[in-house]
Protein backbone atom coordinates (compact mmCIF):
# COMPACT_ATOMS: atom_id res chain seq x y z
CA UNK A 1 0.00 0.00 0.00
CA UNK A 2 1.10 3.51 -0.75
CA UNK A 3 1.77 5.88 2.09
CA UNK A 4 0.86 8.95 0.07
CA UNK A 5 -2.54 10.58 0.47
CA UNK A 6 -3.65 11.93 -2.90
CA UNK A 7 -5.68 15.11 -3.36
CA UNK A 8 -7.45 13.57 -6.31
CA UNK A 9 -7.78 10.14 -7.92
CA UNK A 10 -8.02 9.42 -11.63
CA UNK A 11 -9.32 5.96 -12.46
CA UNK A 12 -8.04 5.19 -15.96
CA UNK A 13 -8.59 1.42 -15.62
CA UNK A 14 -9.44 -0.29 -18.88
CA UNK A 15 -8.16 2.60 -20.99
CA UNK A 16 -5.26 2.25 -23.38
CA UNK A 17 -2.63 4.46 -24.98
CA UNK A 18 -2.87 7.45 -25.28
CA UNK A 19 -5.85 7.98 -22.95
CA UNK A 20 -4.11 7.48 -19.56
CA UNK A 21 -1.58 10.21 -20.42
CA UNK A 22 -4.19 12.58 -21.87
CA UNK A 23 -6.48 12.15 -18.87
CA UNK A 24 -3.55 12.59 -16.49
CA UNK A 25 -2.70 15.90 -18.11
CA UNK A 26 -6.30 17.05 -17.84
CA UNK A 27 -6.64 15.93 -14.22
CA UNK A 28 -3.43 17.76 -13.26
CA UNK A 29 -4.80 20.98 -14.72
CA UNK A 30 -7.54 20.90 -12.10
CA UNK A 31 -5.05 20.66 -9.23
CA UNK A 32 -3.01 23.36 -7.50
CA UNK A 33 0.78 23.29 -7.60
CA UNK A 34 2.11 20.84 -4.99
CA UNK A 35 -1.05 18.72 -4.85
CA UNK A 36 -0.85 15.01 -5.58
CA UNK A 37 -2.77 13.07 -8.22
CA UNK A 38 -3.29 9.34 -7.96
CA UNK A 39 -3.65 7.58 -11.33
CA UNK A 40 -4.97 4.04 -11.49
CA UNK A 41 -4.34 2.31 -14.80
CA UNK A 42 -4.37 -1.20 -16.24
CA UNK A 43 -2.50 -0.26 -19.43
CA UNK A 44 0.96 -1.94 -19.39
CA UNK A 45 2.19 0.84 -21.70
CA UNK A 46 1.44 3.42 -19.02
CA UNK A 47 4.28 1.98 -16.94
CA UNK A 48 6.75 3.75 -19.20
CA UNK A 49 4.47 6.46 -20.56
CA UNK A 50 3.43 8.18 -17.31
CA UNK A 51 7.08 8.52 -16.15
CA UNK A 52 7.96 9.85 -19.64
CA UNK A 53 5.10 12.34 -19.38
CA UNK A 54 6.36 13.49 -15.96
CA UNK A 55 9.95 13.74 -17.20
CA UNK A 56 8.86 15.91 -20.09
CA UNK A 57 6.41 18.15 -18.26
CA UNK A 58 8.30 18.57 -14.98
CA UNK A 59 5.65 17.08 -12.71
CA UNK A 60 7.17 14.91 -10.00
CA UNK A 61 6.54 11.18 -10.04
CA UNK A 62 6.49 10.26 -6.34
CA UNK A 63 5.72 6.57 -6.40
CA UNK A 64 4.58 3.69 -8.57
CA UNK A 65 2.68 0.82 -6.99
CA UNK A 66 1.74 -2.40 -8.78
CA UNK A 67 -1.25 -4.33 -7.42
CA UNK A 68 -2.24 -7.31 -9.55
CA UNK A 69 -2.94 -5.96 -13.03
CA UNK A 70 -3.22 -2.40 -11.72
CA UNK A 71 -0.41 0.14 -11.89
CA UNK A 72 -0.93 3.11 -9.59
CA UNK A 73 1.05 6.33 -9.97
CA UNK A 74 1.39 9.25 -7.55
CA UNK A 75 2.28 12.50 -9.27
CA UNK A 76 2.89 15.84 -7.58
CA UNK A 77 1.92 18.82 -9.72
CA UNK A 78 4.83 21.19 -10.38
Partner 1 sequence: MSEKLAIIVTKGTLDMAYPPLILASTAASLGVETAIFFTFYGLNIIHKQKMHQLKITPIGNPAMPITFPPSMQNSITDVISSVLPGLPQIMGIIPGMTDLMTYMMKKTIKEHGVADIPELLEACKEADVKLIPCQMTMELFGYKYEDLIDGLEPPAGAATFFNYVLDSEKPMIVFV
The catalytic site residues sit at: 17
69 binds partner 1 (CB under 8 A): no
53 binds partner 1 (CB under 8 A): yes
Q: Name which position in 26, 47, 70, 78 contacts partner 1 (CB under 8 A).
A: 26
Nearest to 71 by CA among 6, 4, 13: 13
**Partners of 9 in the beta sheet?**
38
* Separation of alpha carbons 45 and 35, rounded Å: 25
Residues that bind partner 1 in the complex, under the rule CB under 8 A: 14-19, 21-22, 25-26, 43, 52-53, 56-57
Amino acid sequence: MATITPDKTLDASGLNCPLPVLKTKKALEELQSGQVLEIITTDPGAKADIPAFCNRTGHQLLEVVEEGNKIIFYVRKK
